[in-house]
Amino acid sequence: MARLRHRPLLLLAAISVAIVASLVRPAAAVRPFVLVLSVDDFLKDSSAHPSLPSADSGGDADADEWDDFADDSPAADPLLSPSSWVPLLDPTSSPLSGDEPDSPADSLFVAGARAMLSAVSEGDDAAFVTGAAQIEAAATSGHPGAQSALAFLSGAGMSRPASRSRAFLLHKFAADAGDLQSKMAIAYSYFRQEMYEEAVTLYAELAEAALTSSLISKEPPVIEPIRLHSGTEENKEALRKSRGEDDEDFQITEYQAQRGNAAAMYKLGLLYYYGLRGLRRDYVKAFHWFSKAVDKGDTRAMELLGEIYARGAGVERNYTEAYKWLTLAAKQQHYSAYNGLGYLYVKGYGVEKKNLTKAREYFKVAADNKEAGGHYNLGVLYLKGIGVKRDIMEACNHLLQAVNAGQPKAIYQVAKLFQKGIGLKRNLHMATMLYKSVAERGPWSSLSRWALESYLKGDVGKALLLYSRMADLGYEVAQSNAAWILDKYGDESICMGESGFCTDMERHLRSHALWWQASEQGNEHAALLIGDAYYYGRGVARDYERAAEAYMHAQSQSNAQAMFNLGYMHEHGHGLPLDLHLAKRYYDQAVAVDSAAKLPVMLALTSLWLRKNYADSFLVRFIDSLPEIYPVVEEWVEDVLMDEGNATILTLFACLATVLYLRERQRRQVAAANPQQPDDAPM
């Protein structure tokens, strides 16, 4: 049975310790973000705004800014910027700067980054220090990528004293030179400090870069980053499904597709097209399997073939072919195809001429059938007054529906509305959060794929370094993954500290800082762990008040265990006022939120009743002594019973005792059946 790390649930009655440990566990994942607005969030008069484009504005600059129907043809993929680590991780990627590094600073940066990645894989702290020194030398020469990497090392306290101020300054230098990863780090720093005027500007730029690169990058955006842990345990099911072509389910699907199964062909096409379940995005393979699926009669692939031809993804761009396949898909009532047809009519691609009326009709069919793209494109038409009378409220309604369906471009547009106060009241906090969610889909998110791949291969040191790097950029899942690795693999030489490997204190403090950052971004499990750290003094000074603050944060996200803990603290006056009525209220809330808490809550309410009616009784004193008794018992179980040698001896002894018991039982049964036989007769 997995051991629960939080203790208050275990202190109510000695007989219930083992039972309660399996009942209430911290939530494993952060709840999905859904944008919910009230009437007060909308402007009453949205008919005019200085930054709202005019329907007949032609080609003025502001209209260009709002033109969402422009071609996506960026000059270069920002993934291959000089600061990217991906070419160092992926041997099939292009080099960082052409065929060879362009300058001594480039050479130092590449050599230093490679040395650090190799060092954490091999557990070589001396090699890591050497690599960090090369990074520092390149940063001194003004290399933006090296400055960004050195900022990360300084903030984490790797091979140098931790200094948040120095880290921020180095990130600022790198960002001013155009480094997008440092811009992410600075934007996140502003976001944490609630400096939304500064944060929103950076996140808006990064979100635009993320949308620009999402269609051309070989590395697709990581839409659903994998959480390594479920509560305190490894998330084995999610990890199993992330092994790419090594996954058994994938191999079964591939076998079925090769045997002519149309549904399997379509599924393979989807996996390669979007780069899902640990697979690398491969448009050529996606096109191959979609084409075979259509040949076998699976009409779902028609719409995606149309999209592939429209984008020129793995094939030569051909709008006529795109129109053909989208039309066929629409006839089969695949409503996302209507959205694609509407786009072609807006642009006049693959059709006789532009037709905004038809475009709107197609978008409406898609939207009426809950297609997020249809809502988004209708929103853009009403926002800009393209082919329709401008209606800001109608635009907002469509865009918000697309946002809650997870449409990235809609999230970006709504963020812009909040930023500029168009249709929606100006709200920089909301705009920053929305821009951030889009920016985190940028090409830099591919580091999480390499971190996961490293973890699956058993290279935990490299996984920790890459997750820590992403944590510096503000990714909550990376923050919790890095913290979990530090806690789970604390005895292994994978954590690089100020001088050599991390001391226990350095590891505790780094883990604590990462959990705290994750809790700030809504990770209730992280908030629970922070509360535990302060409650028990793990890696930090014991502080009941800060523990209560962390539990309050988790409780605000409807976490049952946090509610239970707060009830316990009110019952005993730990960091909160001694208040039995409030304690009962929290206990009742816990069982209302999670029925699994029924037994521990029942025991807690029994404890409350005893405390209220028999305050000075032996039972109350015994319950209050359990927090001191339990750690001693737990330590004895771990150090004595669970010791490998002792456990083996105890197991053998138990087996021997069982054999002797069964032997004696058999002898007595035989004796009872044959009373005339003497006891010493042979059996």
Half-sphere exposure of 165 (CA within 13 A, CB side): 0
Mean pLDDT, range 111-129, rounded to an integer:
91
Percent of the chain with pLDDT over 70: 76
Q: Which residue did the predictor score with more confidence, 34 or 113?
A: 113
Q: Is the pLDDT at 26 greater than 80, yes or no?
A: no
Q: Is the pLDDT at 55 greater than 80, yes or no?
A: no
**Alpha helix positions (H), 275-371:** 283-295, 300-311, 319-331, 335-347, 356-368
For residue 283, the tally of other CB atoms under 10 A from its CB is 17
Q: Is the pLDDT at 318 greater than 50, yes or no?
A: yes
Mean pLDDT, range 338-355, rounded to an integer:
88
Percent of the chain with pLDDT over 90: 25
Query: Of 151-165, 435-449, 504-518, 610-624, where does mean pLDDT reach its minimum?
Result: 610-624
159 closest CA partner among 406, 498, 492 = 498
Report yes or no: 326 and 334 within 8 Å, Cβ to Cβ. Answer: no
Question: Exposed, middle or buried by CB within 10 Å (0-12, 13-18, 19+), for 237?
Answer: exposed
Q: What is the pLDDT of residue 36?
A: 57
Q: Measure the CA–CA gap between 282 and 153, rounded to whole angstroms.
A: 34
Mean pLDDT, range 657-682, rounded to an integer:
66
**Alpha helix positions (H), 193-317:** 196-213, 236-240, 248-258, 262-274, 283-295, 300-311
Amino acid at 674: N
Mean pLDDT, range 490-518, rounded to an integer:
87
Q: Is the pLDDT at 135 greater than 70, yes or no?
A: yes
Tokens of 598: 């029924």
Q: What is the pLDDT of residue 99?
A: 45
Query: Of 233-242, 355-364, 674-683, where does mean pLDDT reach its minimum?
Result: 674-683
pLDDT tens per residue, range 193-241: 999 999 999 999 999 988 887 655 544 455 567 888 877 788 788 787 7
Q: What is the pLDDT of residue 43?
A: 62
Q: Which residue did the predictor score with more confidence, 32 or 582?
A: 582
Q: Which residue did the predictor score with more confidence, 629 or 256?
A: 256
Mean pLDDT, range 112-119, rounded to an integer:
92
Report yes or no: 543 and 512 within 8 Å, Cβ to Cβ. Answer: no
Mean pLDDT, range 329-338, rounded to an integer:
88
Q: What is the pLDDT of residue 303?
A: 87
- SS3 string, 455-481, reads HHCCCHHHHHHHHHHHHHCCCHHHHHH
Q: What is the pLDDT of residue 634?
A: 47
Question: Mean pLDDT in the chain?
Answer: 78
Q: What angle do CA 589, 592, 593 make, to 5 degrees?
A: 90
196 closest CA partner among 39, 429, 467 = 429
Q: Which residue did the predictor score with more confidence, 631 or 330?
A: 330
Q: Is the pLDDT at 21 greater than 70, yes or no?
A: no
Q: Measure the CA–CA gap between 587 and 567, rounded to whole angstroms.
A: 6
> Model pTM?
0.78
Q: What is the pLDDT of residue 194?
A: 93
Mean pLDDT, range 379-407, rounded to an integer:
89
For residue 45, the tally of other CB atoms under 10 A from its CB is 7
403 closest CA partner among 428, 433, 443 = 433
303 closest CA partner among 330, 277, 275, 283 = 330
Question: What 3-state class would DSSP assign to 45?
Answer: coil
Tokens of 56: 């007949």
pLDDT tens per residue, range 97-109: 444 556 888 889 9
Angle between helices 180-192 and 196-213 (to 10 degrees): 140
Q: Is the pLDDT at 593 greater than 80, yes or no?
A: yes
